[in-house]
Structures are given as C-alpha cells and as structure tokens.
Amino acid sequence: MAVLGAHSGSQEIVKIQQIEAVYRSRRPDDYPPERLPEIAFLGRSNVGKSSLINSLLGRKKLAATSKSPGKTREIAWYRLSGAAGACFFVDLPGYGYAKVPQKIRQEVWAQLIDTYLLSDRPLAVAIQLLDIRRGKPTDLDEQMIHWLREVGVPHIFALTKSDKLKRGPRAQAAQEFAKILGTSEEDAPVPFSAVTAEGKRELWSLIDRRLAHYEHPSSSDDNAFVQTHETEVTRA
Ligand SMILES: Nc1nc2c(ncn2[C@@H]2O[C@H](COP(=O)(O)OP(=O)(O)OP(=O)(O)O)[C@@H](O)[C@H]2O)c(=O)[nH]1
Ligand SMILES: [Mg+2]
C-alpha cells in the first residue's frame, strides 16, 4: 500500500498536495506538537541532505542548501500532506564538519541529533546519507550507523552526489557500500543525485514502503496511515 507515493511507472513519482515548512527547533519542547510519522535525514555536513529533500519534494529552495557547511544548527520539519495522509520530513543538522569548533560540534551532535533520535518522536525511518565519492562510510558515519542499529532505528541509505561519478565507478561504489554496510538486496543503498534526479523513484519507493508498514506508537484504528491509499494529486 503506497502512502504518499504512487508507483505507476509514469513520471509521477510523488503525489503530495501540500508542503509546509512549519517548524524549526533546537529543543524538544519546541518540536511540533503534531504527531505524524517522521522521515529523518541524517548525514555529515555538506553531504547533501537539504538538496536531497528539495529534490524528493520537487522544490528548489524549500530546505536551505549551502556551499559553506556546518551552518545549520537547528532541526527543520516539513509537513507533507496529501489525500492519503500526512507526515513530516525532518532535516537534521549535519555532523562532523571539521572547521566547526569541537564544543559546537558536540553541542550540535549531542543536543540536536542525539536528542531527536532518542526522543519519543514517531520516527518511521531515518535516511542515512553517504557521499558516493568516498566509496565507504567515514568513521563518523560508521558511528552513526552502528548507533542506529543498536537503538533499532529503521534506516535506509542514500549515496549522494552520484552525478559526480561516471557510470562504471558509480556502480562499483554502490556495490562497495552495499558490501560494507551488509545490506540486503531490497535495502541496497540508493545512488542519488539532486542534479540528475537519479534514485529519486527508488528512494521514494523505499520511504513509502517504510511508511506503509509503520505502526504509529499511538496505534489505533483511526491512524491516518493505516487507512491510507494512493493519493490523486499531481507531482509536487
Ligand atoms: N553535484 C551535486 N552537488 C550536490 C548534490 N547534492 C548537494 N550538492 C551540493 O553540495 C553542497 C551541500 O549541499 P546541502 O544540501 O546544503 O548539504 P547538507 O547536507 O544539507 O549540508 P548541512 O546542512 O551543512 O549539513 C551544495 O553546494 C550543493 O549544491 C548532488 O546531488 N550533486
Ligand atoms: Mg542542510
């Protein structure tokens, strides 16, 4: 059962009626009061989180992107809704930017990302972004992935900036990542480009699957996502 996406094989990948940038917060008491399934985007600073969100949503400037990394020190929630239901995309600050002082890095990491992931938010899936050109996760990525596995946060991998590699090296890098990450075939890391839109359909399909199987903590019969069906609106 598709929730926000439709997989008709046509050009229409995402069917969302409304996108609202509603919340920016630093502390749990500022998190959105509304409890909807959340899809969180995680990764090193500058890996392309905001660009990927914009690309998935078909918007150029919804999530602020920057050539100078390490600037984002807040969590941004985007509320998506369609006939089928609603959810939040959560743009988390990037970790590991070396030029940011250690104290701030700890603050950003521990108090924003960690706090979010340990909170009781209804997290349907975390999308872990990795730069495809690196060929393997960095140490910090490894720590993040280990942590996601330990805590049992469902997650999928996107290999960003795939347009920067030619076809051969791109396929090879994707294979390397799959091997290192030990993913199953159906959860294989998705090469993704915000420039060419490579991987957009695959990623939506994975997100959609997770949403469709997500059991809301306050699970009841009137859960919007349990009752959903494909939406009817045009591509965002
Ligand atoms: N060629 C190419 N460049 C990309 C792609 N995705 C992002 N970029 C560039 O990489 C830089 C960082 O992108 P952002 O989307 O701001 O990265 P971010 O992970 O949100 O960064 P922080 O918010 O600082 O953590 C920008 O200059 C983007 O234009 C991509 O798929 N291909
Ligand atoms: Mg960003």
Q: Give the domain ranges of the chain.
A: 18-213
By CB atoms closer than 10 A (0-12, 13-18, 19+), residue 184 is: exposed
Ligand with smallest separation from the Cα of 45: 1
Strand partners, 130: 159
Say yes or no: CB of residue 49 within 6 Å of ligand 1: yes
Q: Is the pLDDT of residue 155 over 90?
A: yes
pTM value is 0.85
Looking at residue 109, its pLDDT comes to 65
For ligand 1, whether the C-beta of 94 sits within 6 Å is yes
Residues around the ion ligand 2 (C-beta < 5 A)? 49-50, 72
Amino acid 106: pLDDT: 63
Confidence of residue 102 (pLDDT cuts 50, 70, 90): low
Superfamily of domain 18-213: P-loop containing nucleotide triphosphate hydrolases (3.40.50.300)
Tell which atom from ligand 1 comes closest to the C-alpha of 129.
19
- Provide the 3-class DSSP secondary structure of residue 166: coil
Of 129, 187, 137, 186, the residue nearest 158 (C-alpha): 129
Residue nearest to atom 14 of ligand 1 (CA): 48
Confidence grade of residue 103 (pLDDT, cut at 50, 70, 90) = low
> Is 42 a pocket residue for ligand 1 (Cβ < 6 Å)?
no
The larger pLDDT score, comparing residue 136 to residue 26, is at 136
Ligand 2 center–CA 24 separation, angstroms: 13
User: Which pLDDT value is given to residue 168?
Assistant: 96
Q: Average of pLDDT values for 122-131? A: 96
Q: How confident is the model at residue 104, as a pLDDT?
A: 61
Q: Which neighbouring-strand residues pair with 85?
A: 82
The Å distance, Cα 91 to ligand 2 centre, comes to 7
The residues pairing with 78 across neighbouring beta strands, listed in sequence order, are: 21, 89
Which atom of ligand 1 is found nearest the CA of 160? 31
Residue nearest to atom 3 of ligand 1 (CA): 161
Provide mean pLDDT across the span 147-167.
94
The verdict on the CB of residue 47 being under 6 Å from ligand 1 is yes
What residue owns the CA closest to ligand 1's atom 6?
48
- For 174-219, write each residue's pLDDT tens digit: 999 999 999 999 899 999 999 999 999 999 999 988 888 887 765 4
CA 221 to chain centre: 27
Ligand with minimal distance to 108 CA:
1
Banded model confidence at residue 4, pLDDT cuts 50, 70, 90:
low
3-state DSSP assignment of residue 97? coil
**Among all ligands shown, which has an atom nearest to the Cα of 49?**
1
Closest residue CA from atom 24 of ligand 1: 69
Q: Residue 114: its pLDDT value, please?
A: 84
